[in-house]
Structure 1
Amino acid sequence: MNSQPTVDAAGSELTQRGRSVQIEKLVKTYGDTNAVDGVDLDIHAGELLTLLGASGSGKTTLLSMIAGFTSPTSGTVTVAGTDITRTPPHQRDIGMVFQQYSLFPHMNVLVNVEFPLKQRRVPRAERRRRAMQALEVVELGHKAEARPGELSGGQQQRIALARALVFSPNVLLMDEPFGALDRALRERMQSEVRRIHRDLGVTIVFVTHDQQEALAMSDRIAVFDRGNIEQIGTPEELYESPATLHVATFLGESNVLGGSCRQGVFRTDGGVRVCTGQAGDGTGRLVVRPERILVDAEPSVGTPAITGTVADVVYLGADRRIVAATADGELVARVPANGSTLRPGDPVTFTWPSDAARYFAD
């Protein structure tokens, strides 16, 4: 699986270009439960793919099987055409970054980063050189002699990232690595990983339950639910064209209207008619993103309009979140902060363009 390492613009040999990963019919069973239930997944060489889902959806179990820490019940894991399903973790050339930094507190930063190379019996001078290169990639070369306890949380996570990159892995796995960081630091680390991904071209498989993090970082996202992949695509594809109700409601905020469809016309439980153009009759759900809703706009002919009373207005800086109580339940709109003077108790009308709603049959 090994090839010649990439030489970056500064002339440092740090990492190979990314390798592809193929998952075929992968199953992991615990008792009567399939934590991963026959997953097929092609991860492209050099892409940043995010596995997104709630706790218990199977994403971390899948990552653990790629790393080799968990043995699959059945199925295969292949990297660049080589079956590694039964290969021990330390022979897979796969880097791993955990949520917990797992740095050795009694060792300085440089020795921490050297550790994977020492395990691989790399000569001392060579591993020092490569460890310093890895520290320069995460912009912490000046902290080589510091102890982990002297660093901030974000710096420690960058050290953990340098340690995962130092032995030139074929694939880099990241399991909720920023979950313990505050919002501002988490966003900086997201940008840092994106920069490293662009510079080095390593294949990254990233696990998170944070929808905004997945949207901000990913080339593609695989949405997990109950051990299966519900949908995979670019962030824009999943957000704008969700294939299932679960994807529509899990990725971003959504208004969900219950009702029934007959001859292409959906009537909400509150009595509002919406044309969907969908074939087939029966009950279903209509999903509308809050940012697509127009507040107190004059609805055009055939455009749905739901009236109600403002229950809450939340200022969020760039926009305001307006919550309305309606016959169809609580609905939410997001409008520019300077675009509304509504207050709780005011009457309000919500409408939206005909292409803003997606219908899902039950």
Structure 2
Amino acid sequence: MTATPAPGAELRLAGLVKRYAGAAAVENVDLSVGSGEFLTLLGPSGSGKTTTLSMIAGFTEPSGGSVVCDGVEITAVPPHKRGLGMVFQNYSLFPHLSVRENVEFPLRQRGVPKPERARRALEALELVELRARASARPAQLSGGQQQRVALARALVFEPRLLLMDEPFGALDRALRERLQIELRRLHQELGVTVVFVTHDQEEALTLSDRIAVFNEGRIEQIGTPEELYARPGTLFVARFIGESNALRGRVSDGVLASEGGVRVPANGLPDGPAVAIVRPERLRVSGAPEAVDGCALDGRIRDITYLGAQRRVEITTDDGPVIVRSGTETPAPGAGESVRLSWAAADTAIFPTPDDATETRNPWTASLAPSTSSSPR
């Protein structure tokens, strides 16, 4: 691998569409990825994220729109001529070849002389800490090691754009977290542009410079992990990114009144049904009679789960079950005790409910512009 790698490629998708039998799997996706950026396509199954990645790679032909890499349109260019690295969930290693020979394969396809490709393959294996297993066959490796071989193979010809389709989805949690750390290190060292697909929100928050949240073939919102978590632009994003509490009610004269009696300022929202979203870590728990500033809701502790550095407390209220996450450094009320929940009104995001056809976007965050930063996190 070169000591000073070339900067990552810039990618732009313009009006990208894919239809199957008249049904849209991807509908009018516009997306720009900066040089060296780590962008994640996040969404539930069937949301269009993998189809979008497949169109970038050239495996799926778009029904409309364009794919542009470094200012050159590659929409009609065959996959093998796009110069992109690709890592799949199922590894796709050749069982009859050694680890080194698997990594060499892209170089052999490109006509690189044997001594040169052997040297570069060993360097790529060094990057993923597998040089000592160069002579092994894939069947002799663990699942995590095989995935690292697949990553080395994708990086060995020094692509400027790396595509990854749920590469850690089949691994156990501990191994997945370790490989996430390794991938972040490699991304920072090599400066390659990465487009990563996952349905795992925690993985997306850990790895990404920016995240594009997909839903029903469209991008709901693009932003940094911090922006999406703290300032979700739609009710779908608020519910999909991180754990949240939903308090249903109605907006009237600029105030949302929940079914349990909570009143929250809702300036700018039309009168009608709405839902208030509050993150579990924003809630404070105190004794029931205690007066509080901001929003308050009474309830009774139903269950407490110890999570090491945190407690997850489930509380029954007139607004339904509410989850609180708090530190373990101080004693907590016990199950069955009455408590008062409180939080700042500014920590509440309010959305008209989906059955309100006039608006489903939060006017507090709808104008949030996607970050243009492409520096690794």
- How many angstroms apart in 2 are the aligned matches of 1:201 and 1:82? 20
Tell me the residue number matched to 2:313: 322
Tell me the residue number matched to 2:215: 225
Amino acid at match of 1:283: P
Tell me the residue number matched to 2:292: 300
2:81 counterpart of 1:91: yes
Tell me the residue number matched to 2:194: 204
Tell me the residue number matched to 1:36: 26
- For residues 71-150 of structure 1, the aligned pairs below 5 Å read 71-150=61-140
CA RMSD of aligned residues (A): 1.3
- How many angstroms apart in 2 are the aligned matches of 1:73 and 1:280? 38
- 3-state SS of the aligned residue for 2:346? coil
2:336 counterpart of 1:345: yes
Tell me the residue number matched to 1:357: 348
Tell me the residue number matched to 2:359: none
CA contact (8 A) 2:258 2:319 kept: yes
- For residues 175-254 of structure 1, the aligned pairs below 5 Å read 175-254=165-244
Tell me the residue number matched to 1:62: 52
Amino acid at match of 1:48: F
- 3-state SS of the aligned residue for 1:163? helix
2:164 aligned to 174, 193, 199, which one? 174
CA contact (8 A) 1:263 1:278 kept: no
Which deviates the most, 138-147 or 336-345? 336-345
Q: How many residues align?
A: 351
Tell me the alpha carbon deviations over residues 301-339 of structure 1, each in whole angstroms, 9 at most, x when there is no partner.
Answer: 4x2211111111111111111101111111100111233
Gaps of 5+ in 1: 9-14
- How many angstroms apart in 2 are the aligned matches of 1:356 and 1:196? 36
Tell me the alpha carbon deviations over residues 285-307 of structure 1, each in whole angstroms, 9 at most, x when there is no partner.
Answer: 10000000001164434x22111
CA contact (8 A) 2:292 2:342 kept: no
Deviation at 1:17, TM superposition (A): 2.2
Q: Cα gap change, 1:246/1:299 in structure 2, threshold over 3 Å: closer, same or farther?
A: farther
- 3-state SS of the aligned residue for 1:296? strand
1:334 aligned to 325, 345, 348, which one? 325
2:3 counterpart of 1:7: yes
- How many angstroms apart in 2 are the aligned matches of 1:341 and 1:29? 53
- How many angstroms apart in 1 are the aligned matches of 2:291 and 2:344? 9
Q: Cα gap change, 1:123/1:6 in structure 2, threshold over 3 Å: closer, same or farther?
A: closer
- How many angstroms apart in 1 are the aligned matches of 2:68 and 2:154? 20
CA contact (8 A) 1:94 1:172 kept: yes
Deviation at 1:6, TM superposition (A): 4.8
- How many angstroms apart in 2 are the aligned matches of 1:39 and 1:70? 15
1:272 aligned to 262, 266, 287, which one? 262
Deviation at 1:266, TM superposition (A): 0.9
Q: Cα gap change, 1:334/1:299 in structure 2, threshold over 3 Å: closer, same or farther?
A: farther
- 3-state SS of the aligned residue for 1:229? strand
Deviation at 1:276, TM superposition (A): 3.0
2:284 counterpart of 1:285: no
Amino acid at match of 1:360: F
Q: Cα gap change, 1:299/1:57 in structure 2, threshold over 3 Å: closer, same or farther?
A: farther
Deviation at 1:179, TM superposition (A): 0.7
Deviation at 1:32, TM superposition (A): 2.8
Tell me the residue number matched to 2:356: none
Tell me the alpha carbon deviations over residues 113-155 of structure 1, each in whole angstroms, 9 at most, x when there is no partner.
Answer: 0011111222111111111111111121111111112222211
Gaps of 5+ in 2: 354-377
- How many angstroms apart in 2 are the aligned matches of 1:113 and 1:361? 52
- 3-state SS of the aligned residue for 2:222? strand
